[in-house]
Structure 1
Amino acid sequence: MRGYRDLAELLRQQITSGEHPEGSTLPRIVDLIDAHGLSRQTVRDAIKELADEGLVVTMGKGGTVVRNRTRVKIPLNRYSRVLRPAGTKGPWETTCAEQGLDGRMKVVGVARLHATAELAALLDVPSGSDLVHRRRHAMLGENDVVQLQDAWYPADLVDQTELAGSAKVVGGVFGALVAAGHSPSSVSERVQSRMPTGVEASQLKISGKVPVIAVTRVTKNAEGRVLEVLQSTAPADRVELMYDDLPLE
């Protein structure tokens, strides 16, 4: 074995074949040095190449872990199926369950804030208006964060509802909006591909060279009032956005 590319290719093949399955830890650097007669820097360069490809994530003292790359298919019609209040699953949980995946939604934080100029434009409210900000992680299982979500709501719409509280909204936000008398009628989405910020890469446990898909969703009622602005970010190899059977006229 002559260099880091050879070692990277060997480890890549072992990961692809299942010899090192998702969630497993690669051999320690010292063990790879001994096994292949390479320098420490050469081994580090090989692991960095795999991390940049999104195959592994380095966990410090936790070693180098083979990354979970299970892809979640996210159809546009996920919203219409969760409009009825009293359901037990939101759009993410429903979509994952249909694919045999253990989808979970975790509330990271809820806060009141004043609308920046950018948020005010998206929500069609005056700059400085009171908003409720809900930060969530869309997950598979207990530890695998697939998508980061930040949602904002006009405070006058959601005050005195569970959307203003810190607890998880059982059944999803759309059902809660309907229960509060604010029925979603239309959804617009804008999709971008970009590189992650340092914070996003850390939370998603990816290298800063793994691209992400960033979606901005604006939800309105029948009168055109904006009920929610949601910004979500996920590694590009973890989600597949599906827009099937859209009308052409």
Structure 2
Amino acid sequence: MLTFDHVHFYYKKGQPVIENMSFTIETGEFVAIVGANGCGKSTIAKLMDGLLLPKEGQVTFKSLDTSRPEDLDKIHEQIGFVFQNPEDQFITTTVMDEVVFGLENIRVPREEIRSRLDHAIQAVQMEDYLESMPHQLSGGQKQRVAIAAIVAMRPQIIIFDEATSMLDPQGREQVISIMHALHSQGMTMVHITHHMEEVLSVDRILLIHQGRLEFDGDPLTFFETVPVADYQLEPPFAVRLNKLFHQSTPFTADWKEMIRLQWSIN
């Protein structure tokens, strides 16, 4: 559905940021893109949405090509983008207006706006904050409003570009829970993160290193075969716990379940 075909990108010629990258994200997948700071993750996100254009190769969404100006509006409507700092997306004075603005911008009929607004606000559990000023909310609440504004536009893919990196643990947990709820409803999710705890339950991990795709596979294979510390990433607690058990128990993202299995084996 979303395809990178031998994509190259640089900001300055001779200093490649993305080199010869090819992969396809299928409809309904939950994909995490991980890697050290500066490896090219956010550049990939912007290439996906047509905010940047490849210097060589193609980025396509279904039959739409980001290099064709006539396709870009359709791509932006079908691929939502949640930024690291939610305030970068805010342009109005209330939560309700923030969601409605995006709907008006894509010309949603007025009679349909209210139902979309209600659905999106309920999806992020912000019903009690419709009249609140976005800039006065907590970090997690701000990010949930930014997500609601995207959900209301009903994209087919949502890209989260380090969307949890500025949040406290509670805010991060709330946003991750919303991601999985949206995914369970059939939405394709792309989660760019350096928090390895957040990728244990995704469908697929893409590891980026110095602008190249180093790994493409499921989380179990990733944590069993990739020395994540070599890529300036910290193994999740569940992975470290599994190694303490000398892999005598099956690896699972649920560390409490791993302990229960270990006790049952002993």
Q: TM-score, normalised by structure 1?
A: 0.24
Greater per-residue helix proportion: 2
Greater per-residue strand proportion: 1
**Relative contact order higher in (CA < 8 Å, ≥ 6 apart):** 2
Q: TM-score, normalised by structure 2?
A: 0.23
Larger radius of gyration: 1
